[in-house]
């Protein structure tokens, strides 16, 4: 049975502020669907439709759209080669890195489109009425950027295991091989009993570094996008028609740069993880 929408008193002031958390829209059982999650799904759908349309129109003699994408991909591959130093290694990680770039870029830009952030519903709580937007830029939600950062760091370590092997990759963090060398070389080099344990436990710093990577990636992306969201909201309150336009162009550039930084750092992490310790 349909329920009537709550009546909002005309004297009630409806408030809306940019919150650090994503607002819930509805629930599927115990699973909460937030406005940032809806935005993420919309971006994934756009990427799927874009990929499907490009695949459908692939031809030996490319049209304008295919030619444009080929130029973009070739430039992206050359940029990735400058990090990995090897086209073969680039092709192994490029699909993941470029997909992350597109996902972050579209999320950064989609949050600035008309309707995103301004279309929603009013939630009445006692005498207070709060406007809840139906869509919100997903990268302005720390949950999204944290998930991307964990995927980036965890994925790079899994990739490293496949490339250099579990034993070599594990020794980057806890160098058991350094302990094993002590009985063999202690007669010729007594100092090894001091040096090698230090070498073994220096890898623990690498573990701390992996955690720091997650924090750095997630907070950098979240902080820049959320700050841009707050800035545009503030400019719109001061003067809604002309004043926000220059800042919107600035946020377009910031969104591109942040997506590029995140994807390039991910590529660097994958490249480092696929290099043996002695190299």
88, HSE (Cβ side, Cα atoms, 13 Å) = 2
What distance in Å separates the CA atoms of residue 221 and residue 243, rounded to the nearest whole number? 25
Q: Between 193 and 96, where is the model more confident?
A: 96
The answer to whether 58 and 67 have CB atoms below 8 angstroms apart is no
Q: Answer whether residue 159 shows pLDDT above 70.
A: yes
Per mean pLDDT, which of 14-28, 114-128, 215-229 is the most reliable?
A: 215-229
What distance in Å separates the CA atoms of residue 239 and residue 223, rounded to the nearest whole number? 24
User: Mean pLDDT across the stretch 10-36?
Assistant: 72
pLDDT digit string, tens, across residues 35-59? 888 889 989 999 999 888 888 878 8
Q: 31 pairs with which residues across the strands?
A: 28
pLDDT the model gives residue 140: 84
Q: What are the φ/ψ torsions at residue 115 (nearest 5 degrees)?
A: 100, -35
Confidence of residue 101 (pLDDT cuts 50, 70, 90): very high
What distance in Å separates the CA atoms of residue 135 and residue 35, rounded to the nearest whole number? 5
pLDDT the model gives residue 277: 56
What distance in Å separates the CA atoms of residue 168 and residue 160, rounded to the nearest whole number? 9
> For residue 146, what are its two tokens?
């944290």
pLDDT digit string, tens, across residues 192-218? 777 777 777 777 788 888 889 999 999
């Amino acid at each position: 049975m349909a329920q009537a929408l709550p009546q909002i008193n005309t004297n009630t002031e409806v408030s809306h502020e940019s919150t650090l958390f994503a607002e819930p829209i509805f629930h599927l059982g115990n699973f909460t669907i937030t406005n940032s999650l809806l935005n993420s799904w919309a971006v994934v759908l756009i990427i799927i439709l874009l990929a499907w349309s490009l695949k459908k129109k692939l031809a030996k003699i490319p049209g304008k759209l295919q030619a444009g994408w080929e130029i973009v991909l070739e430039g992206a591959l050359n940029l990735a080669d400058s990090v990995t130093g090897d086209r073969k290694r680039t092709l192994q990680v490029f699909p993941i890195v470029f997909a992350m770039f597109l996902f972050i870029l579209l999320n950064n830009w989609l949050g600035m489109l008309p309707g995103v952030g301004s279309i929603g519903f009013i939630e009445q709580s006692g005498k207070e009425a709060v406007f809840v937007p139906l869509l919100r830029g997903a990268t302005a939600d720390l949950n999204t950027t944290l998930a991307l950062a964990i995927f980036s760091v965890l994925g790079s370590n899994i990739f490293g295991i496949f490339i250099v092997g579990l034993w070599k990759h594990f020794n980057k963090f806890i160098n058991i091989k350094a302990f094993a060398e002590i009985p063999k070389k202690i007669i010729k080099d007594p100092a090894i009993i001091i040096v090698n344990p230090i070498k073994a436990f220096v890898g623990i710093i690498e573990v701390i570094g992996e955690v720091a990577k997650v924090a750095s990636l997630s907070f950098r992306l979240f902080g820049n996008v959320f700050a841009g969201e707050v800035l545009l909201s503030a400019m719109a309150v001061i003067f809604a028609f002309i004043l926000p336009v220059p800042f919107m162009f600035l946020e377009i550039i910031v969104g591109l740069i942040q997506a590029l930084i995140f994807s390039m750092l991910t590529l660097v992490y994958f490249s480092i993880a696929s290099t043996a310790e002695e190299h």
